[in-house]
Amino acid sequence: MDMTASSVPAERVRSGRWLVVAAMAVPLLMLTIDAFGLTVALPAIGHALDTTTTTLAWVFNAFLFTFAAPQIAAGRLADTFGRRRVVLLGLIAFIAGSIAAGTAQSIGWLIAARALQGLGTALSFVASLAIVSNAFPPAQRGQAIGIWAAAGTIGQSLGPLVGGVLTEKLSWRWFFFVNVPLGIAAILLTLYVVEESRDESAPRCFDLRGFVMLTVGLVLVVLGVQTSGQSGWGSPLVVVSVLAGLAAIALFLMLEPRVRTPLIEFALFRNRVFMGTLLIHFSWNWVWSVFMFLLTLYLQHVRDLSPLQTGVLYLGFALPFVIGSSVAGKVGARVGERMQILGGMSLGVLGSLIFALLAEQASYALIVLGFVALGVGGALSYNAATSLGMASVPDAKSGEASGIQNTVLQLGAVFGLAAGTAVFKAIENQRVLASLERAGARLSQSDRGELAGLLSGSDAAQQRLGTLAPAVAGQIERIVNGAFMDGLHAAMTLSIAVAVLGVASALLLRGNAAPAKR
């Protein structure tokens, strides 16, 4: 009798935990469909809003940045004021951003809406991971995080396909509108299933000054790096932005340790395992952001694939990521998480190398091979690094650790896209102008700028091209395509170097980390 009475609550606790995982997986699924599917819609957006490749990158990077910068604060807010409350606040912001993006009439409006979406995603993502991590004992935490992360990988699989279908059959605007009913459903499920949790020992205050300094510093550095591809490193805007950003970050690092309730627990950075996982996250997401953005433009503008065809081809990346995530826990248990990360980042080097050497008319089999290498490699390294990093910190700091981990993860994407597009644009512009000079094309500087924007789907570039003789137009299009490939090769070569950094970071992880003291 006593055994039965005691086992019933235990079963309820166990089943309740898995319901929490399911509830937190729903918003993650929605958020990742939006994050990954947008890349397929970007060329259509560029065409509709008449913008260039550099500006189009901000549609992607505005989301990534506002996803990255608030995550440290989101972790502290979740631990202090309640993890469920922060998830709900994030979902509301994401829905509002989706409505604004779907109704955008200008590129500036869309970039602002994407920034709001990123903020909502940051709040929901960090708090949901903290909820899942805090709901399970160390022995089950890896499995629970793996299931939660699987929802994200499924979203990554469906994202390009959903983006392709909605963009081609309806409009790119519907890619944002579909988030509204899904977001409302996620809010209701969270209210019904998830109980509030927080770090009761955390002080009820927030370091706003530190948050502003860090955010402003990161914004300025990213602005400078991304602008350098268009204006050059000697541009006053680039120099002032980078130096002012670095100064703000340095000031933050000097003052933050003196704050009574710092935004960042600097003691976490003395954890060798945690630091190693941060470097791995940074390098992986750098590689991911560059290839997702530039390969989409390559497939739709150089290879003339439709959004739907592009989405289908991206399954070559997404499905291996899903499969790799589903077996990542077993692989880690068999070979050790350090070796798993080492193997995953090595595959990242291989995938980047394939795209760094890609021919303009390369076979689709080779493209899919590159996708598979990056998909499997990303799944193995990301899941192992996430689980290992969260296991190395105390439960009471799970929200803050999650925020730091995911901030660094997304900063990898932000800086990767900024640096990758800067390198791409600098090489593309140089090659276009040099080739036009050799071809003897009689075009003004503004004309050349318009034609250089051909690959972004700009209406102005297409209209200008249509005014030229067919032979000249064909020659210019070949020149621009060739310049695009040169830029792609340069950006992916930089990604190879960053992926090698991830391989080296795995060497910091000596064996599996023991769970942190609770």
What distance in Å separates the CA atoms of residue 374 and residue 318, rounded to the nearest whole number? 9
Residues 304, 402, single domain; the answer is: yes
Average pLDDT, the chain: 77
The reported pLDDT for the residue numbered 517 is 44
Statement: residue 469 has pLDDT above 70: no
**Residues of the chain above pLDDT 90, percent:** 4
Does some domain include residue 85? Answer: yes
Does some domain include residue 463? Answer: no
Q: What is the pLDDT of residues 407-428, one digit of tens each?
A: 788 788 878 887 888 888 778 7
Residues 240, 292, single domain; the answer is: no
> In this predicted structure, which of 10-14, 68-72, 193-197 has the lowest mean pLDDT?
10-14
Q: Tell me if 260 sits within 8 A of 450, measured CB to CB.
A: no
Residues 238, 126, single domain; the answer is: no
The residue among 260, 279, 298 that closes a domain is 260
Does some domain include residue 98? Answer: yes
Residues 268, 408, single domain; the answer is: yes
Does some domain include residue 500? Answer: yes
Residues 346, 495, single domain; the answer is: yes
Q: What is the mean pLDDT of residues 118-140?
A: 77
Token pair for 311: 């989405």
Residues 102, 196, single domain; the answer is: yes
The reported pLDDT for the residue numbered 461 is 58
Burial of residue 157 (CB within 10 Å: 0-12, 13-18, 19+) is buried
Domain that holds residue 253: 207-260
More confident residue, 225 or 181: 181
Burial of 199-230, coded b for 16+ CB within 10 Å and e otherwise, reads beebeeeebeebbebbbbbbbbbbbbbbbbbb
Spatial CA neighbour of 187 closest among 122, 95, 82: 95
The residue among 260, 289, 324 that closes a domain is 260
The reported pLDDT for the residue numbered 322 is 78
Q: Taking the model in full, what pTM does it have?
A: 0.73
The CB density around residue 6, as the number of other CB atoms within 10 Å, is 9
The residue among 233, 260, 287 that closes a domain is 260
Does some domain include residue 517? Answer: no
The reported pLDDT for the residue numbered 100 is 93
Does some domain include residue 200? Answer: yes
More confident residue, 278 or 455: 278
CATH no. for residue 371?
A: 1.20.1250.20
Does some domain include residue 183? Answer: yes
What distance in Å separates the CA atoms of residue 117 and residue 123, rounded to the nearest whole number? 10
Total domains in the chain come to 2
